[in-house]
Chains A and B, each alone.
Chain A
Amino acid sequence: MHVNTANQYLKAIYLVQQQEDGPASTGDVADMLEVSPASANEMIGKLEDQGLLDHEKYKGVNLTDEGIHRAREALQNYCIIERFLAEVLEVEEFRSEAKQLEGVIDETVAERLDTIIDREPQCPDCFDAEDDVCALLELEAEASD
């Protein structure tokens, strides 16, 4: 059951590209996912075959429009899980738990969970690439402390 691995890569590449404001190097993507550069390279090749990114040797990878769309969906999915854990299940460690769960909760399930939470319209642009979390939820968490 590794269907969501591709989404995790797309999400990581999207965030690295945002930080770099340009192509993402395979090394940075591998670092972010804590995988070996060889595994990252292999997966990037697969994603390129699916038309989700363009890989230019020595420069790095750029997501295609379809790749960006998928990456943003994965980010939104994560934001829904984070917010659901915080608002509905009142989980204190909602962030670390969301990271554990995002691979098991797919988009269709997240959409249903989304029907009972109060999510911000700017999502998934609320995502803080540096910390790999939803920035809006952080502000609210601090405000309620």
Chain B
Amino acid sequence: MVAVSLHRPVGSDHQLARLLQIGVVLEEVVEARAEKHAQMTDELDPAVSELLEHASAESADHRRELEALIATLEAETVPFDEIKRLVEAQYEADEEFDGILYDQLCNEETAYKFYDDLIGAIEASETEFSIDRERLLSTLERIREEEAEGAEDVTQLMESRE
């Protein structure tokens, strides 16, 4: 019988690169969904529209920062066009404003949770990565902070619409 692995710290460059790749995909999903929502709805509330644009731009920034880290580890990422195609293929339409904001809130919260767990797993690890640990953690911590701010912005917008 194959053993079920227990929760473990990040143990190698390879595993770290894989986790960062997943981060890139999550950002790409956010970017693609925000773009899609912005296009789909004709009369979008300017505040919602602005939020989506900001979210999309921020995700693109995060993606590039993660890609820069991954480049140091000599791993490849999935091209954005490919993720856009997948989001498109599996997309379930939800044109309600609240649906759009709720989706956006999920995006930000999920990203926050991902970076928070990743930072914890890196901190718990004694592995010497070929990337500078301080640079790695400070980048991820800043991105995590921006995700928290993003979730806060969506929550405020949702509350102001109630």
Contacts and interface: CB of A to CB of B under 8 A. Distances in A.
Interface of A: 1-5, 8, 11-12, 15, 31-35, 84, 88-89, 91, 97, 99-106, 108-109, 111-113, 115-118, 130-133
A116 B19 contact: no
Contacts of B124: 1
- Which secondary structure characterizes the binding site on chain B? helix
Contacts of A99: 4-5
* Contact-residue size bin, chain B (C-beta under 8 Å from the other chain): 35 or more
Contacts of B106: 108, 112
Nearest to A131: B2
A133 B8 CA distance: 19
Interface string B5-26: 1111011000100110110011
A101 B19 contact: yes
A33 B3 contact: yes
B142 interface: no
B86 A103 contact: no
A42 to B, nearest CB: 14
B7 A88 contact: no
B78 interface: yes
A141 to B, nearest CB: 16
Interface in B32-86: 78, 83, 86
Contacts of B109: 108
Interface stretch (B110-118, B127-135, B143-151, B152-160): B110-118
B87 A32 contact: no
